[in-house]
Structures are given as structure tokens and as C-alpha cells.
Chain A
Amino acid sequence: MSGAIPTIAEAARLIAAKQLSPVELTRTCLDRVHKLDGELHAFVHLTEERALAEARAAEAAITAHGPKGPLHGIPIGLKDIVDTKGIPTTCQSKFLQDNIPVTDAACAEKLAAAGTVLIGKTTTHEFADGGPSFDLPKPPARNPWNTEHFTAGSSSGTGAGVAAGLILGGIGTDTGGSIRGPAALCGIAGIKPTYGLVSRAGVAPAAFSLDHIGPMAWTAEDCALMLQALAGHDPRDPASASRPIPNYTAQLGSGIKGLKIGVIHHFHETDHKVSDGTQRGITAAIATFRDLGAEIREVQVSPLQDWLACGSLISITERAAAYEEWVRTRLGDFSDRLRSRLMLGAFVTGVDYLQAVRRRRELRAELQTAMKGLDAVLTATQPAEAAKIDAVPKWDLFGPPNFTMPFNVAGYPAISVCSGFGEGGLPVAIQLAGQPFREPTLLRIAHAFEKATPFRDRRPALLAA
């Protein structure tokens, strides 16, 4: 079964050559959903009839005129905080169980226009925060590499769904690591683009100034194909950037000789020391980049704790503001974990928030200086392999700092790619962050790494069962 899962790029080539039918591909994905999702819980809502109708329409259009692009006929999932016209969008919350949007979010609209086939809405933490929660209308997603383990979140269903081949790609959102964390623990690729590159319109907020929308897929190349459809100015999003959109796949395959990659050693060696398996993956990745001709340098910035404090104070406040009305009137209807996060808003004063926003400007300037002349920086995405799902601490916010928040605070693009497997047999990952709006270079580096390593050849064992 695992050998039957193509990447988006492979499927697109086969579809264009009329060697693969979008209907057949969609049915294969749905078969896997029916077989595995009772255990994985990657979906909160399936759109099976619509998927088959879209696949048939794609097939007819491709037969008549050829594909309109590489996403035509490709089965995807949308995180359930993404508005979808006529399809329930619950944000995994009791508040929105009957919510059926009348319009699509910008990202849903763009992927539909590119010809994708929507398999369903994927599992998220409630309003993309907290979790894993067991007191929500639907259970949390499970890690396909070992279903006793966590996927990370909050884009947990998209991560699990891609890894298990239920979909070939999907949408995640990332406020402090919610694309890159699940990508890392589920062994796939996920890119948080530069802030403003992909419209947030129609996506429920977690924290307005830290929220990013981005693709998750099996490979960096697939992320590039999806990003091509997603990127672009949107006046409905006040933070949307008005910039020319480059070709995100044009540089793939051109190698990385001469590119300069900085390693932020202190993030994963001192500020939050990673597991041996994760460290081995990082060390081997640095050697791989060197072998591929990249120049490796050391980079130092403020400790992770500073970035986390800044991002967390902003995030806590913006989230508390977004959901204040329900916090004041229906607090008991939130999940225990999200309720606890929302209560923290009472402790952050307006001055605390502004001091964090002033600190944000300083940290961003610091990263800009540290990355001068570099094409990317490298660190961990997660500290270790996935923990057991019942062993995830509720107050991880006050534990060791995460590795992903710095690039939400700075708004810089960052991608997670699989860098091997740890002692428990679950995936480990590296994180690469690039210069603002230079996603083509970042994707080029990630693609070169995936091509030079064997980790894209292995899928979760449950697919072979």
C-alpha cells in the first residue's frame, strides 16, 4: 500500500501523461481514509461525495484540455479552521458545531481554483491552540508512525493525513510552530511562508500578528507546488504583502553549491538541548549540506527563551482579545486546555503586550543582522521524537522553549523536513529558515537535502498492514 502513494509532483506528471486518473487517485485516498482514519482521526469532516465529483470533473477537463496546473486532480485536506463554503467549519470547538460558512477562505478558494480535490476538513486543536484535548467534539489526531504518540499541533490532522497518504497535501496554520511541529513529528515537509505571503482571510485567528497559512506535504517540492497556488496579495487580509510572486519550483534541482547556511547551535545545544536522535539528524544534515557544496557558518542570536517570551505574550493577548466575548460569557464551553490558555490573558497588561511588541522589533533586527549574507539558518524543529499522546504536558508554554517561535516573531519563512528517525523509530526533523520572501531559495535547500538523503522512501508501517 505504501508504494502506491505518489507525491504531488509525481501524481501531476502521471495525470498529465494520462497514466493516472484523478478519480482513481481520489478513490485510493478515500480507501485509505476508510481503512485508517478510525485510528488516526486525521479528519473531523469528510467530503467524500464532493471529492468524487471534483475528481470526475477534473478528469473530464484534463481529458478534454489537459491539466490547468500541477494541482489539478490532487486530493488535499483543509485544516478545520479554514472556512469552506457550504461545508462545516467547526474549529474543533463546541461553539461552531453548526457553522457552515457562506464563502471560502482565500486559501481554500485558491486551491479549488487550482483544481484540487477536497477530501475533507482535517483535525486541529480547538481554534488552533492547546491540545491534545480529549474533551472536544472529536478526538485528537494520532501519529501514523505510532498511534500511541502525538502528532504535535495544531495542524495535526493535516500532518497525520499526509504521512499516511490519506491526502497528498494540505493546509496548515502556524502561530508558534503549528505547521512545522506536526510536519516534524509526522515525518513530512511543512513550510511557514513569510508573514503576509499567503492570505489569512477566512481563517480563524489564533494570534493576528503571528498567524501564517502554509502548505504541508510529503516533500519540499510538493510544498513549492502548493505555495505557487497559495501566494499572492489579497486585499481582504490587512497584513497581505503586495509583492511579485516568483516561481517556487524554478530553482529546485539546481543544487546548493556556494549557498551559505548558518547554524544556530545554541538553540538546540544549550537553550533547549535536543535528544540524541535529533542531534544526530542535525549533525548529519550539516555534513550533507557541506557535501553538497554549501558553506556552513555559526550564528548567534538571543536565547530561545527571549523569543518565546516575546511571542507568547503577544499570542496570549491577541488570542484573548479575539475570543474575549466567549471567554466572558461561555468560558465553560472551551476545552480545558484552551480555556486555561485564554485565562492567561487576565495576567498580561497592556504595557506587557507593548513591551513584547517593542522587543519584537529588536529581535527581528537582530535576526536580520545575524542572517546578513546567509541564505538560510538551521536548527531543530522539535526537541525529540513524538511523545506519547497522554504524556503531553498541559503547561508546555512554561517548559523548555520551542524552536519554531523565533520565526513567527520575525515573520521569516521556515520549513521543517525529515532528517531521519530516532531511537523509538519515529521521525526527527531539521528546521531551515530563510530570508523574507525568498522561499525559492529555502525550498531549493530543503529539496536538495531530501534528494541527498533516503528519508522520503519510508512511510509509516501501518500502511503495509
Chain B
Amino acid sequence: MPAEIPTEAFEFLLSRAGLDLTDEQKAELKGVYAGITAMAERVRKPRGYMAEPAHVYDFTEEDLA
């Protein structure tokens, strides 16, 4: 995942999120993009396709009655 984001891709993500930002806000946000990509890389591990997420679905006794 690239640490820098092309302007076109950046604008697409903002538009997709419904964000209407000033130039100053865009510059600030672009400046921390690398931080997010580093986090996104860090959570990726060679875990295979069977690895489940941590969501827990619990059924109470009332549900099962």
C-alpha cells in the first residue's frame, strides 16, 4: 500500500465519504495518510482465508427458549 496518495484517488475517497473539505483540511489530511496506511499494513498477517474476525454473536437463554 503506497504511503502517498495520488490527488485523484484522494479526491475520490473524500467524495465517497461525503466530505467537503477546504484546501487546508485536505493538505492536513494528506499529511497523515501514511500513518493510516502503516496501520492498515500492520494488521495484515499471513493468516489464510479461514481466520475469523473477532465479532462475537452470543445468544441468551431467552433467545433459545
Which A residues touch B47, using CB under 8 A? 358, 362
Complex: A360 Cα to B47 Cα, angstroms: 12
Complex: A48 Cα to B61 Cα, angstroms: 44
Which B residues touch A355, using CB under 8 A? 40, 43-44
Residue B2 at the chain A interface, CB threshold 8 Å: no
Nearest-neighbour CB distance to chain A for B50, whole angstroms, equals 10
Which A residues touch B53, using CB under 8 A? 354, 357-358, 360-361
CB pair B40 A340 closer than 8 Å:
no
Complex: A352 Cα to B16 Cα, angstroms: 16
CB pair B14 A346 closer than 8 Å:
yes
Nearest-neighbour CB distance to chain B for A252, whole angstroms, equals 31
Residue B65 at the chain A interface, CB threshold 8 Å: no
CB pair B39 A309 closer than 8 Å:
yes
Residue A295 at the chain B interface, CB threshold 8 Å: no
Complex: A339 Cα to B28 Cα, angstroms: 12
CB pair B20 A361 closer than 8 Å:
no
Give the secondary structure class of A's interface: helix
The B33-48 residues at the A interface (CB cut-off 8 A) are: 33, 35-40, 42-45, 47
Chain B residue with Cβ nearest A360:
B54
Nearest-neighbour CB distance to chain B for A339, whole angstroms, equals 8
CB pair B52 A348 closer than 8 Å:
no
Complex: A313 Cα to B1 Cα, angstroms: 15
CB pair B42 A347 closer than 8 Å:
no
CB pair B17 A345 closer than 8 Å:
yes
Nearest-neighbour CB distance to chain A for B9, whole angstroms, equals 10
Nearest-neighbour CB distance to chain B for A211, whole angstroms, equals 15
Interface string of A184-212 (1 = CB under 8 A from B): 00000000000000000000000001000
Partner among B33, B42, B55 whose Cβ is within 8 Å of the Cβ of A305: B42
Residue A99 at the chain B interface, CB threshold 8 Å: no
Residue B18 at the chain A interface, CB threshold 8 Å: yes
Which A residues touch B51, using CB under 8 A? 358, 361-362
Chain A residue with Cβ nearest B28:
A340
Which B residues touch A316, using CB under 8 A? 36
The A298-340 residues at the B interface (CB cut-off 8 A) are: 305-306, 308-310, 312-313, 316, 320, 324, 327-328, 331, 339-340
